[in-house]
Structure 1
Amino acid sequence: MDIVVKGRKTEVPERFRKHVAEKLGKIQKLDGKVISLDVEVSKEHNPRQAGRSDRVEITLHSRGPVVRAEAAASDPYAALDLAAGKLEARLRKAADKRRVHRGGSRTPVSVAAATAPLAAAADGGHAEVPSDKGVPTTRIGPLEIQGEGPLVVREKTHAAAPMALDQALYEMELVGHDFYLFIDSDTNLPSVVYRRHAYDYGVIRLKADPTGEGTAMGVGGALGG
Structure 2
Amino acid sequence: MLDFNIRGENLEVTPAIREYVEKKVQKLERYFTEGANATAHVNLKVYNDRQTKVEITIPMKNLTLRAEERHEDMYAAIDLITDKLERQIRKYKTKVNRKFREKEGVAAFLQSVEKEMVSADDGAGDDAEFQVVRTKQFNLKPMDQEEAILQMNMLGHSFFIFTDAESDGTNIVYKRRDGKYGLIETN
Query: Does TM-score exceed 0.5, indicating one fold?
Result: yes
TM-score by length of 2: 0.69
Unpaired runs of 5+ in structure 2? Answer: 111-130
From 158, 161, 165, give the equivalent of 2:145.
Answer: 165
- SS at structure 2 position matched to 1:107: helix
Instruction: Flag the structure with more relative contact order, 1 or 2, with Cα contacts below 8 A and sequence separation at least 6.
Output: 2
The range that moved more, 193-202 or 19-28, is 193-202
CA distance in 1, matches of 2:103, 2:143: 22
Is the Cα contact below 8 Å between 1:28 and 1:34 reproduced in 2? no
Task: Give the letter for the 1:92 counterpart.
Answer: R
Coordinate RMSD, CA, aligned: 3.1
Output aligned runs, 1:137-152, within 5 Å: 152=133
What SS does the corresponding residue of 2:105 show, helix, strand or coil? coil
Aligned partners of 2:135, 2:76: CA distance in 1, in Å? 30
**Structural mapping, 1:2-41, within 5 Å:** 2-32=3-33, 33=36, 35-41=38-44
Q: 1:179 is aligned with what amino acid?
A: F
CA shift, 1:197, in A, is 4.2
Tell me the CA shift for residue 104 of structure 1.
5.2
1:25 partner amino acid: Q
Could you say which residue in structure 2 is the equivalent of 1:90?
88
1:48-63 to 2 correspondences below 5 Å:
53-63=51-61
- Taking the aligned partners of 1:155 and 1:4, their CA distance within structure 2 comes to 22
Please list the CA deviations of residues 91-126 of structure 1 after superposition, one character each: whole Å capped at 9, or x if unmatched. 001111232234356435979xxxxxxxxxxxxxxx
Instruction: Count residues in correspondence.
Output: 162
**Pairing of 1:127-206 with structure 2 (within 5 A):** 152=133, 154-183=134-163, 186=167, 188-189=169-170, 191-197=171-177, 199-204=179-184
Distance in 2 between residues matched to 1:3 and 1:38, nearest whole Å: 6
3-state SS, counterpart of residue 25 of structure 1: helix
Tell me how far apart the structure 2 counterparts of residues 63 and 183 of structure 1 sit (CA, whole Å). Answer: 14
Per the alignment, do residues 195 and 91 of structure 1 end up closer, same or farther by CA in structure 2, a change over 3 Å counting?
A: same
State the percentage of identical aligned residues.
28
**How much does 1:68 deviate?**
1.0
1: distance between equivalents of 2:98 and 2:168? 27
- Aligned residue for 1:2, secondary structure, equals strand
Distance 1:198 1:75 in 2: 37
How far did 1:41 drift?
1.1
TM-score of the aligned structures, taking structure 1 as reference length: 0.59
Contact 1:34 1:61 in 2 (8 A): no
5+ residue gaps, structure 1: 112-149, 208-225
Match of 2:46 in 1: 43
Matching residue of 1:81? 79
> Deviation digits for residues 170-209 of structure 1, max 9, x if unmatched?
21123233322335564834x54222346412345678xx
With over 3 angstroms needed to count, the CA separation of the structure-2 counterparts of 1:79 and 1:177, relative to structure 1, is farther
**Are the structure 2 counterparts of residues 179 and 86 from structure 1 closer, same or farther at C-alpha, using a change threshold of 3 Å?**
farther
SS in structure 2 of the partner of residue 26 of structure 1: helix
Alpha-carbon separation, structure 1, partners of 2:158 and 2:13: 30
CA gap of 1:171–1:158, structure 2 versus 1, over 3 A, is same
Contact 1:55 1:72 in 2 (8 A): yes
Following superposition, the deviation at residue 87 of structure 1 comes to: 0.7
